[in-house]
């Protein structure tokens, strides 16, 4: 089975620009979560998508938005980039038999490292 | 508020010795507890979880963790450390009504010296 793949692996943007990060779920998984991991910190939950709809959101402003596609892949979009958005963005997929629960095990991708100058 | 704490930024252990990485949590209701490991330039990998049942949970690579409700702890342990266990370890907590939100600790860097 294929794991979670993310692209791009590295990118550099300037303040005010917009960025789109992409994620392909592990085969058979139907739920995608996005996390932001700043340097030296643990991952912070951004949001989760299930059945192409947002199914929970952390404390991130609306300029962080996402999509899930019918093949369960996902995008994370960040508008009006700020310096503090510099981080490793992790995508994680899981299999939910019904509405996703906190008990599901996450399979993570290697991440997209975003640098905002 | 729901939270998880890893009180040690770094743990140093000699190869062959037992290791413990500490984790405490604060959750209203019954917690779901996890340990993940992160190697350099890699995503997080699942090690083990506690949902319900036996308080001692066994996971990948010989790791185990014990759920202690009275102390609200979920410490990660291994009887004999390997140099290859050196990595960044994250404790995480969730709960039934969390709408799938999982809170991660700040991480503990485990260093095993030969």
Higher pLDDT, B76 or A55: B76
- Contact status, residue B49 vs residue B60, Cβ threshold 8 Å: no
Residue A100 has pLDDT above 80, yes or no: no
For B53, residues 6+ apart whose C-beta sits below 8 A from its C-beta are none
* Burial class for A117, CB neighbours closer than 10 Å (0-12, 13-18, 19+): exposed
- Whether A102 sits inside 8 A of B95 (CB atoms) is yes
Higher pLDDT, B99 or B49: B49
Residue in chain A closest to B44 (alpha carbons) equals A108
Supply the mean pLDDT for chain B.
93
Flag whether residue A101 sits within 8 Å of chain B, measured between CB atoms.
yes
3-class SS at B83? helix
> Closest Cα of chain A to B2: distance in Å?
13
Mutant choice from B102, B103, B104, B107 vs A, greatest count of A C-beta within 10 A: B102
Segment A19-33 shows an average pLDDT of 94
Residue B100 has pLDDT above 70, yes or no: no
pLDDT of residue B2: 86
Residues of A with CB below 8 A from B101's CB? 45, 48, 56, 58, 102
> Closest Cα of chain A to B15: distance in Å?
25
For residue B17, name the pLDDT band (cuts at 50, 70, 90).
very high
For residue A107, name the pLDDT band (cuts at 50, 70, 90).
very high
Residue in chain A closest to B36 (alpha carbons) equals A106
- Whether B43 sits inside 8 A of A31 (CB atoms) is no
Residue in chain B closest to A41 (alpha carbons) equals B106
% of chain B beyond a pLDDT of 70: 96
Return d(Cα B73, Cα B67) in angstroms, integer: 6
Residue B98 has pLDDT above 70, yes or no: no
Residue A87 has pLDDT above 80, yes or no: yes
The per-residue pLDDT for range B33-44, each reduced to its tens digit, is 999 999 987 889
């Amino acid at each position: 089975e294929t794991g979670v793949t993310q692209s791009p692996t590295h990118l550099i943007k300037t303040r005010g620009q917009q960025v789109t990060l992409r994620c392909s779920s592990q085969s058979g998984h139907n739920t995608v979560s996005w996390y932001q991991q700043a340097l030296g910190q643990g991952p912070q939950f951004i949001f989760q998508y299930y059945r192409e709809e947002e199914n929970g959101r952390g404390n991130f402003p609306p300029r962080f938005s996402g999509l899930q596609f019918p093949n369960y892949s996902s995008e994370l979009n960040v508008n009006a980039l700020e310096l503090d958005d510099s981080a490793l963005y992790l995508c994680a997929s899981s299999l939910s038999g019904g509405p996703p629960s906190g008990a599901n095990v996450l399979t993570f991708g290697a991440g997209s490292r975003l640098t905002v100058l | 508020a729901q939270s998880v704490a890893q009180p040690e930024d770094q743990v140093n252990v000699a190869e062959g010795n037992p290791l413990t990485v500490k984790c405490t949590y604060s959750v209203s209701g019954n917690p779901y507890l996890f340990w993940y490991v992160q190697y350099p330039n890699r995503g997080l990998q699942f090690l083990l979880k506690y949902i319900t049942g036996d308080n001692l949970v066994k996971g990948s690579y010989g790791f185990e963790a014990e759920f202690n409700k009275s102390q609200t702890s979920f410490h990660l342990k291994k009887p004999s450390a390997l140099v290859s266990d050196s990595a960044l370890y994250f404790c995480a907590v969730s709960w039934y009504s969390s709408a799938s939100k999982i809170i991660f600790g700040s991480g503990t860097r485990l260093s095993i010296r030969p």
